[in-house]
A and B are shown apart, each in its own frame.
Chain A
């Protein structure tokens, strides 16, 4: 790898392969030392690209994630629940905003990212392609989906890229509240009428497997894992996080008096973890490819909101331009 001698070329604009290697090595050793990467710092192109993909996907997930729960705002069964849900969905929009800003520090614009989402080029968490059929789904999403998100995001508060780590700290505080409100909805349903309890069980049945899929493919099949771990933008493997989620959730389900829809879930004293059954990865890849129950609908709604809002966004620009012209004319 270091075959070429490049003395005297290290500081030119287009570094040779080995000076790039040296820069990358220095970059890596800073990361190993726990030094945060900031936007103005040099970084390998692949690091930048990987982060843009990861952060923008995360941002898109927050934005599209508003839709399944937003579906129940107008039908929330009490005014208190309605207020909590409104606040929660608003938080998710805020998360999208912080994350788009974090990604923008890497040299991409929000418009570009939004465009990639709308054309289907960019991905978002496949869990949001499942429908929210009952009120209990709002509870299950808070409990399981926000629960999984926390599992994923708490380690990212220590990730190597400064703006991302800082965004995650803000986001995680709110995610903890999201998970609690979801679990609280489930508690109320499970302490309620037989109809309400059946609704809760049905929601768990439908959201359990997709929530476990949220952590991504098994470690053996995960494409970007090793490099991302070296760069500290992924701190645990998919399977490690998934196991944590199972370990946390099974006792919570028991506390609710609900049954996890996997007969193979069993405490394994030797491992100190719950065992669980095989995940249907074919379903996962199918949803990622765009064939989930709501992929089309979610993208259509986002696209429609964007297209319908074009006049509004353009008008604000037009007004600002007029004001600027006026200011120039007055100054002249």
Chain B
């Protein structure tokens, strides 16, 4: 069980870490000063969540690992985040579409984890769920304002959603790790979130006058098991450069 728990914590922690890393790329370059600050806030919250989750994973591993050894000294095949969060930022509409789909999932996932039989995980979820509820309110509000904004913003956001949509499927696909965590009362069955997620997304899209992409089609997956897109390795090359080029140094 501890191997599955470790894996589970990496999945949750890596999702937050990699998305935070992507959002950090925007810092100082957002479309408006207030927006820049708000997005950096989200990046900071996610980074905080990642640190708690990875520290917990490291602690349980007990092999001298810590949050930094996990973040900086694993290769892309050892990362367990979903493909959605590693997708490049694209334009600001792409970034927001990715964020909305993730926030909507994450707020449901964290609410399930509130009742986790693992007290340490439940405690992290309790802190994180407040943050993510705010992120979701913010990203939903932006979906509505941009979807039902100008003709141009509507078109850009619809294109962005259509592009990122296939990556949402992976969020709901379970495997043996999920099954073991669900059986132990630590985690949840990913498929069990899908209806509620879809209902919420549908509701926001309706208000935003956005079209829900058609079901089916291309459904990339594998991130949770360490099989990523080409983007992750480059993201890590940038993120890990100092730790890798100065082995053993403290910062």
A196/B51 in contact, CB under 8 A: no
Q: Which of A81, A304, A315 contacts B251 (CB 8 A)?
A: A81
Q: With an 8 A cutoff between CB atoms, is A83 at the interface?
A: yes
Please report which residues of chain A, range 71-109, place their CB below 8 angstroms from some CB of chain B when the two chains form the complex: 73-83, 86-87, 89-90, 93-94, 96-97, 100
B24/A86 in contact, CB under 8 A: yes
Give, as a whole number of angstroms, the nearest-CB distance from A197 to chain B.
11
The CA of A196 and the CA of B238, in the complex, are separated in Å by 19
Q: With an 8 A cutoff between CB atoms, is B110 at the interface?
A: no
A316/B248 in contact, CB under 8 A: no
Contacts of A195 in B (CB 8 A): 246, 249
The CA of A313 and the CA of B31, in the complex, are separated in Å by 7
B156/A311 in contact, CB under 8 A: yes
A301/B29 in contact, CB under 8 A: yes
The CA of A100 and the CA of B70, in the complex, are separated in Å by 41
Given known contacts A74-B25, A77-B242, is B150 in contact with A86 (CB within 8 Å)? no
B241/A75 in contact, CB under 8 A: yes
Q: With an 8 A cutoff between CB atoms, is A30 at the interface?
A: no
Q: Which of A97, A189, A192, A318 contacts B149 (CB 8 A)?
A: A318
A315/B44 in contact, CB under 8 A: no
Q: With an 8 A cutoff between CB atoms, is B37 at the interface?
A: yes
The CA of A193 and the CA of B92, in the complex, are separated in Å by 40
A83/B153 in contact, CB under 8 A: no
A74/B44 in contact, CB under 8 A: no
B33, B35, B37: residue with the most chain A Cβ atoms closer than 10 Å = B33
Q: With an 8 A cutoff between CB atoms, is B91 at the interface?
A: yes
Q: With an 8 A cutoff between CB atoms, is B84 at the interface?
A: no
Give, as a whole number of angstroms, the nearest-CB distance from B20 to chain A.
8
Q: What size tier do the contact residues of chain A reach?
A: 35 or more
Given known contacts A79-B50, A79-B51, A319-B145, is B27 in contact with A193 (CB within 8 Å)? no
Contacts of B238 in A (CB 8 A): 74-75
A311/B48 in contact, CB under 8 A: no
A311/B150 in contact, CB under 8 A: yes
Please report which residues of chain A, range 297-324, place their CB below 8 angstroms from some CB of chain B when the two chains form the complex: 301, 304-306, 308-316, 318-319, 322
B32/A312 in contact, CB under 8 A: yes
Please report which residues of chain A, range 38-82, place their CB below 8 angstroms from some CB of chain B when the two chains form the complex: 63, 66-67, 70, 73-82
The CA of A93 and the CA of B38, in the complex, are separated in Å by 10
B44/A192 in contact, CB under 8 A: no
Give, as a whole number of angstroms, the nearest-CB distance from A323 to chain B.
9
Contacts of A294 in B (CB 8 A): none
Q: Which of B48, B54, B153 contacts A315 (CB 8 A)?
A: B153
The CA of A310 and the CA of B91, in the complex, are separated in Å by 12
Contacts of A185 in B (CB 8 A): 251
B31, B35, B145: residue with the most chain A Cβ atoms closer than 10 Å = B31
Give, as a whole number of angstroms, the nearest-CB distance from B152 to chain A.
5
Q: With an 8 A cutoff between CB atoms, is A135 at the interface?
A: yes
Selected A-B contacts with CB under 8 Å, 17 pairs: A67-B28, A70-B28, A75-B242, A79-B47, A82-B47, A83-B48, A93-B33, A100-B33, A188-B251, A196-B249, A301-B29, A305-B29, A309-B30, A314-B149, A314-B153, A319-B146, A322-B148
- B residues contacting A by CB (< 8 A) are 17, 21, 24-25, 27-37, 40-41, 43-44, 47-48, 50-51, 54, 67-68, 71-72, 91-93, 144-146, 148-150, 152-153, 156, 238-239, 241-243, 246, 248-251
- A residues contacting B by CB (< 8 A) are 63, 66-67, 70, 73-83, 86-87, 89-90, 93-94, 96-97, 100, 135, 185, 188-189, 192-193, 195-196, 301, 304-306, 308-316, 318-319, 322
Q: A309-B31, A311-B153 are in contact. List 5 more A-B contacts (CB 8 A).
A: A79-B50, A93-B28, A196-B249, A306-B31, A309-B32
